[in-house]
Structure 1
Amino acid sequence: MKRLILVTLTLICAAFTLHAQDTTQQIVPGRVNSASNQTRPYVIMISIDGFRYDYAEKYHAENLLRLSGAGVRALAMQPAFPSLTFPNHYSIITGLYPAHHGLVDNTFYDRKRKETYRVGDTVTVPDGSWYGGTPLWVLAEKQKMVSASYFWVGSEAAIQNIRPTYYFKYHEKTSNDQRIQQVVNWLKMPEETRPHLITFYFPEVDHAGHSFGPESEQVRAAVLQVDSAIGKMADAVSKLNLPVSFVIVSDHGMTNVDTQHTLSLPDTSIVKALKVAPGGEKVLLYGNNEEEISTAYKFLKQNENHYTAYLKQETPVRWHYGQEDIYNRIGDIILVAEPGYAFSFSKRAMHVGHHGFDNNLTDMNAIFMAWGPAFKENTRIATFENVNVYPLVARILGLDITQPIDGKLEVLESILK
């Protein structure tokens, strides 16, 4: 059987950790804010990977509750399908569903390129040609507004030949205190070179959730660690007396799975004839012709075992997925595990915590919190889709959206002052 050699679950959980451990700041020379942009507000956009919608209350994240309590807090934020790290970080930063921006999974095959994109790959991840849409930092830089990124999916890649003015290659060597100080240092720069959009990423909660499950003491500790860091950052930034607003999001939630009764693909030549892009909660299968696809689908459908088999064109419309695959990167057949179950493609022990399931599953829900001069005070809103964050941040920064997106400003416009 011709299979793709793909990353293990461990790499998917860690998301970025195989990148070169270069801790130096990368700077694109010659960039300055236009005169009009020098008077614009500032946004610090923070992602807490794997921070489930209920973690703040469940684990008493005092700073997040206090700061968002005085600002805006959503009941939850719904991730795009699939509820995975790379697709959702990139949906938040582009305002597009995965099928429209091209990162359709953490690992997938591109028929036209005859190549595989995978998290942790030091060749594909920084290659800007894989990424569709216009990330917020690209939008900002095109409109003469300086941006900075202390990690975000896509920030290392030259998307449309543009990176943030200041960015870092992903690593986990630098302490949170050092990273917070870097944010402060950015905001202390002269107006001409000071970034107005800053993205920032915390991996700790996701790591703990995968290894120990969402109900664990380790997740509680990770939540409180990140909460403390955000409290320190907010306090340090407030002393600068700049119009800085904070937007706090996560990419997905987390749930427990049965690690003793794992799922596997049927051991048959019918399935072995397909290319396989494996994942714990979702498997993409690529066929060579219609007959091969039809035969495999019928077999998998008849032998469903704690998973559901879908033909690409018959996936639920609410996913905005198979039928909208403009890059032709989604498998011809998609297997989605039932909540509480996961596929295993490795002899290693399976992690207890998982995400990537149907995005209607409550445990997959993420967070949205915001505060600062751009936002109304003491405001609570209902659950909404994460693609709507993009037009919100663009409006705060005064950026013109120049390409069609899936997000709609009217969904969140009412939370702005």
Structure 2
Amino acid sequence: MASARLRPVFLLLLIILLARAATKPLRCRSGVGSKKRLLLISFDGFRWDYDQDVDTPNLDRLARDGVKAKYITPPMLTMTSPSHFTTITGRWVEDHEVVHNMMFNTQTNQKVPHKDTLRRSEWWDNGVLPLWITAQNQGLKTASFYYPGGGANYSGQAVNRAVVEESGHPDDNETEWRQNIDTVLSWFSKEDFDLVTLYYGEPDNVGHARGPDHPDRKAIIRQIDRTVGYLRDAIGLHGLNATLNVIITSDHGMTTVKKRPLVDEIVLNKYLNLLKMASFEILDYGGFGILTPRPGKEQEVLEALAKAPHLTVYRKDDMPESFHLARSGRLPPVVIIADLGFNLNSRFIVYVNKGDHGFHNGEMDMKMIFRAFGPDFKKNFLSEPFDSVHIYPLMCRLLNIWAEPNNGSLEHTADMLITSHGGPRTSPMIITTTVVFVFMSTLIA
């Protein structure tokens, strides 16, 4: 009888416990001896093999002192904004919906250039939380320096500190690169930040303007190598060697653009009248194109584009599952992917880039780098290739926080860590619910 009278009391207490578990930020410290910090650095357009034809003593030393992946694979799309947001969310593009560098609206024909999107929350905030916000919700302090998506709000919540790159800002100033390193390291050492993301716009710009085989590309890789050496020294000067883990990666690779007179370039208006057949398009943007046919014209558009050389045209709903794009609500109905090195020109050949990306992520020229070092990483460890979506659960493990639902898996990166930090993480809500279920079953019995 006494136990029966106590059941409502126990039930009330457990409901309170459930509510606290669901709302209170928690940080699991299992297997971690001291607080660790994380710096994620992205060098835009750093192809996986760019350090193989250049003398890079600092990157070579970093590989000996830490982890190097043979290469990693970006998501489809191999563009700056979609790929960076996959890294910081652990979600495929069809889930996070940042489906292009340009912000666009197919109904109004609005098109906003990449750098002008960086503060436009309506482009980035689609219900998927980036790592900055997830970490902040669990009591950590985060910052973004130029990293795509860092300047947006997510359900009204902003990154603790964000420096957003202005349109037209030069990307290749080596002195400024070092100043930016000093700034973010001071955030760790003097202001107790836990996570900072740092973005550099090279070697992407040089790759576009000169091509991946040009001597200027090799010069910028040497500059990156010097910057990595400066970073290593600065970490020691700030007293962060024992607590700061660093991941260096990229968003996509780069390939040489095939141009006349060597090849016939793609001019899509030769195969269909774009003015009459399409109500929206983004085509003069490298190897990836999107198009909304006018009502009743979709099949005609698909059949016409199928006759064009050096490309593959897809109805969005019929794209391969491996693209992880078909479920996107933002992408228009028709998606065009050019063969490697061919740009999609709409009406005229106006494209001037010597190098580009946006092509199929299975192409080796689209693969990119991954390096990591710090107290939690093994030394002189060569990792097998993996998809960039798997970086997110690795970062959550390094920060010792609960991950949001994601498409990555720690299985692909766990071997590069000195210790696994315990088993797979389970949400505190799930743990508490399980305890309640077991306890209530006992009471009922």
Q: Which residue in 2 is equivalent to 1:62?
A: 57
- Percent of aligned pairs with the same amino acid: 28
Q: Which residue in 1 is equivalent to 2:281?
A: 276
Q: Which residue in 2 is equivalent to 1:406?
A: 407
1:185-196 matches, within 5 Å, as 185-189=186-190, 193-196=191-194
1:347 Cα deviation (Å)? Answer: 5.9
Distance change >3 Å, CA 269–CA 304, structure 1 → 2: closer
**Helix, strand or coil for the counterpart of 2:413?**
helix
Q: Which residue in 2 is equivalent to 1:20?
A: none
Q: Which residue in 2 is equivalent to 1:297?
A: 302
1:116 Cα deviation (Å)? Answer: 4.2
In structure 1, stretches of 5+ residues that fail to align are: 1-32
1:251-262 matches, within 5 Å, as 251-260=251-260, 261-262=264-265
C-alpha contact 2:103 2:113 (8 A) present in aligned 1:
no
Aligned residue identity for 1:379: F
> Which residue, 343, 363, 369 being the options, matches 2:365?
363
Aligned residue identity for 1:251: D
Q: Which residue in 2 is equivalent to 1:263?
A: 266
Aligned residue identity for 1:198: V
Deviations 1:44-74, CA, capped at 9 Å, x for gaps: 1000100000112222222112112221111
> Which residue, 283, 291, 301 being the options, matches 1:285?
291
**Helix, strand or coil for the counterpart of 2:232?**
helix
Aligned residue identity for 2:202: E
**Are positions 1:228 and 2:230 aligned together?**
no
Q: Which residue in 2 is equivalent to 1:244?
A: 244
CA–CA separation in structure 2 for the residues paired with 1:265 and 1:357: 17
1:271 Cα deviation (Å)? Answer: 6.3
CA–CA separation in structure 2 for the residues paired with 1:237 and 1:361: 35
C-alpha contact 1:47 1:200 (8 A) present in aligned 2:
yes
> Which residue, 385, 388, 391 being the options, matches 1:386?
388
1:165 Cα deviation (Å)? Answer: 1.6
Aligned residue identity for 2:121: G
Judge which range, 343-352 or 279-288, deviates more.
343-352
1:40 Cα deviation (Å)? Answer: 2.0
C-alpha contact 1:259 1:351 (8 A) present in aligned 2:
no
1:328-343 matches, within 5 Å, as 328-343=329-344
After superposition, the CA RMSD in angstroms is 2.4
C-alpha contact 1:71 1:372 (8 A) present in aligned 2:
yes
Aligned residue identity for 1:145: L
1:178-217 matches, within 5 Å, as 178-189=179-190, 193-217=191-215
1:259 Cα deviation (Å)? Answer: 2.4
1:241 Cα deviation (Å)? Answer: 2.8
Aligned residue identity for 1:266: N
C-alpha contact 1:41 1:396 (8 A) present in aligned 2:
yes
Deviations 1:306-328, CA, capped at 9 Å, x for gaps: 11111111212211112x21xx1
**Helix, strand or coil for the counterpart of 2:62?**
helix
Aligned residue identity for 2:231: M
In structure 2, stretches of 5+ residues that fail to align are: 1-25, 419-445
Q: Which residue in 2 is equivalent to 1:126?
A: 119
Q: Which residue in 1 is equivalent to 2:443?
A: none
Deviations 1:246-277, CA, capped at 9 Å, x for gaps: 10101011110122243222244366431112
1:144 Cα deviation (Å)? Answer: 1.6
C-alpha contact 1:70 1:371 (8 A) present in aligned 2:
yes
**Are positions 1:42 and 2:37 aligned together?**
yes
**Are positions 1:146 and 2:141 aligned together?**
yes
Aligned residue identity for 1:339: L
**Helix, strand or coil for the counterpart of 1:221?**
helix
1:77 Cα deviation (Å)? Answer: 0.5
CA–CA separation in structure 2 for the residues paired with 1:89 and 1:337: 22
CA–CA separation in structure 1 for the residues paired with 2:317 and 2:154: 29
Distance change >3 Å, CA 102–CA 349, structure 1 → 2: closer
C-alpha contact 2:147 2:164 (8 A) present in aligned 1:
no
Deviations 1:131-177, CA, capped at 9 Å, x for gaps: 23211111111112111211111001112322222221204367112
C-alpha contact 1:76 1:384 (8 A) present in aligned 2:
yes
TM-score calculated relative to the size of structure 1? 0.84
**Helix, strand or coil for the counterpart of 2:390?**
helix
C-alpha contact 1:118 1:125 (8 A) present in aligned 2:
no
C-alpha contact 1:284 1:331 (8 A) present in aligned 2:
yes
Deviations 1:368-410, CA, capped at 9 Å, x for gaps: 11011011111111111000001101111011113x2111112
**Helix, strand or coil for the counterpart of 2:403?**
coil
CA–CA separation in structure 2 for the residues paired with 1:194 and 1:351: 42
**Helix, strand or coil for the counterpart of 2:152?**
coil
Aligned residue identity for 1:206: D
> Which residue, 310, 316, 324 being the options, matches 1:306?
310
CA–CA separation in structure 1 for the residues paired with 2:232 and 2:115: 33
Deviations 1:76-122, CA, capped at 9 Å, x for gaps: 010101111111011111101111101112236445x7564643363
**Helix, strand or coil for the counterpart of 1:46?**
strand
Q: Which has the larger radius of gyration?
A: 2
TM-score calculated relative to the size of structure 2? 0.79
Q: Between Structure 1 and Structure 2, how many residues are aligned?
A: 374
Distance change >3 Å, CA 237–CA 115, structure 1 → 2: farther
**Helix, strand or coil for the counterpart of 2:268?**
coil
Aligned residue identity for 1:151: Y
Q: Which has the higher helix share?
A: 2
CA–CA separation in structure 1 for the residues paired with 2:369 and 2:297: 41
Q: Which residue in 2 is equivalent to 1:9?
A: none
Distance change >3 Å, CA 153–CA 121, structure 1 → 2: closer
